[in-house]
Structures are given as C-alpha cells and as structure tokens.
Homo-oligomer: A and B are copies of this chain.
Amino acid sequence: MHDHVYKLIELTGTSTTTIEDAVQGALARAHRTVKNLRWFQVIETRGDIEQGRVKHWQVTLKIGFKVDDEG
C-alpha cells in the first residue's frame, strides 16, 4: 500500500552575512506559501563579490514538503 507523497522545490536564498542566513531566507519565503515544509538539502553555495569581499551569499536548496491538496 503506498503512502504519503512529498514534493521538492528548488530555491536560492541570499544573504549579506552568512550561509545559514541565506538558507533561513529561502525557507522563510517558502513558508509564506507552503505551510508544511519538512526538510532541505544544500545543492550549491555561490556568491557575488564586491571590492574583494562577499556581497551576497547565494545558497541553492531543495526543500521537501508533504503534498495534500496543492500539487
């Protein structure tokens, strides 16, 4: 008998401070439209540079959530 189904979406969060903050930003944005987020996996960590310093950390995530009525 098959059971729950989860959907994975891919977001890039950005932050001027830390990798962790870029992840939290992406999750916060996803949480505005999807309530039951369950887990994430970091796919890539990049950034842009200004004056020899990181300007924005850019962290790409896969985020998983249980699908019920939205698809």
B20 near A12 with CB under 8 A, answer no
Report B-chain residues with C-beta under 8 Å of the C-beta of A5: 11-14, 25-26, 29
Interface residues as binary, A49-68 with B (CB distance below 8 Å gives 1, 0 otherwise): 10111101100101110010
A-B contact pairs, 28 of them (CB 8 A): A1-B21, A2-B21, A2-B24, A3-B14, A3-B15, A3-B16, A5-B11, A5-B25, A6-B11, A6-B12, A6-B14, A7-B9, A7-B10, A7-B11, A7-B12, A8-B10, A18-B20, A19-B19, A28-B52, A30-B71, A31-B52, A31-B53, A32-B71, A37-B49, A39-B46, A39-B49, A41-B44, A41-B45
